[in-house]
Amino acid sequence: MSDFIYKDGQLFAEDVSLLEIAEQYNTPCYVYSNNTIQSRYLEFDSAFASRQHLLCYAVKANSNISILNTLARLGSGFDIVSIGELLRVLEAGGDPMKVVFSGVGKREDEMKFALEQNIKCFNVESESELLKLNRVAENMGMAAPVSLRVNPDVDAKTHPYIATGLKENKFGIAFESAKVIYEQAANMSNISLTGIGCHIGSQISSLTPFQDALHRLLDLIDELKQLGIEFQHVDIGGGLGITYQNEIPPTPTEYVNAVTSIIQKRDLEVIIEPGRSIVGNAGILLTKVEYLNITPFRNFAVIDAAMNDLIRPSLYNSWHEIKCVKQNSNIKESIYDVVGPICETGDFIGKNRSLSLSEGDLLAIFSAGAYGFSMSSNYNSRPRAAEILVDGVKVHEARKREKLEDLFGGELLP
């Protein structure tokens, strides 16, 4: 059940009309449903039932502090990839003891701050990082909690830019090297081994790659046990896909059931790091049609949102559903390329879409809750969009639209 549905020919976010949101906050703006976020979280959480688990929401999917706050209140942990994301989690009321720190390029200052905050663990991605972390922790007289991110070399069968678990990808420690590096880590004075993990990619629409990866991790866990190295947790990363068009990914329940049936009675806390599957279908991008440009070759609907607001179509050629906020039954449908005002041919949101449009109409671009605003930029000196969080009849301005003066506020004339 979607929280974005038509009532009397008008699209609503929960109990609020998108026409009203556009009137009050202008366009383009992101609109999120608090209810979708909560119910997705709770579906993962309750599928684990009594099994020891921690859901660490991947902050990079959508890092607005109001969304982090919703999740923190539900007891969520967080997967971060920078100090900026850790600050967001703290600001939102998240518990640092439920934070795992991923990423291939953690800097020393980031390690230091995260250690000071007593995060749950560092997902270490290379031998060099391990050595640096040991040194930083030694200087602070601490032991750094570590889970190695292993690269299980499985094909996630997703877009090559978001496949991360193949041996040629930059992520994680090669499966073949993991044992040696674990032995090394076990002998480091300021490293405390707490777990093992992987993250094989994003927008994955079948269970098989997750199951393959988990089997490989468990094999490694068994081998390491022989060497006297034991863990408290296994982290299977994020990556569960959502429906953009006609994909049918496993539900959170099916996913969790598949995982727990492989882990069975092992005494391990299970960590998952979902991002897209929590927030992806909890958001739309609300935009206005500025012009209908009918050429002899193509029809263009030029909207006031662009690739700087939502880069996924340009970057991954990804498909987003586009719907009229007001159903125009009296206008004939035509085929449009829905494009932004940016000076790039790659600036499109959708191609060959059948829509009944007039200039000034509002459009909703669906499945924009993940990797939408968080990947947005100021390209073409466009202020970033506002973000609105709807909860029933309540409308919360979760982020103000950037002001024009913000665009060069940090710049200095010579």
Ligand X SMILES: *Cc1c(COP(=O)(O)O)cnc(C)c1O
What is the set of active-site residues?
A: 343
* Element at 301 (helix H, strand E): strand 299-303
Task: Assign 203 to helix, strand or coil.
Answer: coil
**Rounded Cα–Cα distance for residues 172 and 181 (Å):** 12
Report the interface residues with ligand X, using CB under 6 A: 58, 60-61, 79, 102, 199, 202, 237-240, 273-277, 370
Q: Which residue in this structure is represented by tokens 């720190």?
A: 101
173 contacts 150 by C-beta, under 8 angstroms? yes
Residues in the chain: 414
Sheet containing 10-13, strands listed edge to edge, beginning at the edge strand earlier in sequence: 4-7, 10-13, 16-17
Helix boundaries (H) for 157-304: 175-186, 208-226, 252-263, 276-279
Task: Assign 125 to helix, strand or coil.
Answer: coil
Distance in Å, CB of 199 to ligand X, minimum:
4
From residue 116, alpha-carbon distances to 99, 164, 232, 332 in Å are 13, 30, 22, 62
CB-facing half-sphere around the CA of 38: CA atoms within 13 A: 14
Structure-token pair, residue 277? 């599957």
Structure-token pair, residue 114? 């995260």
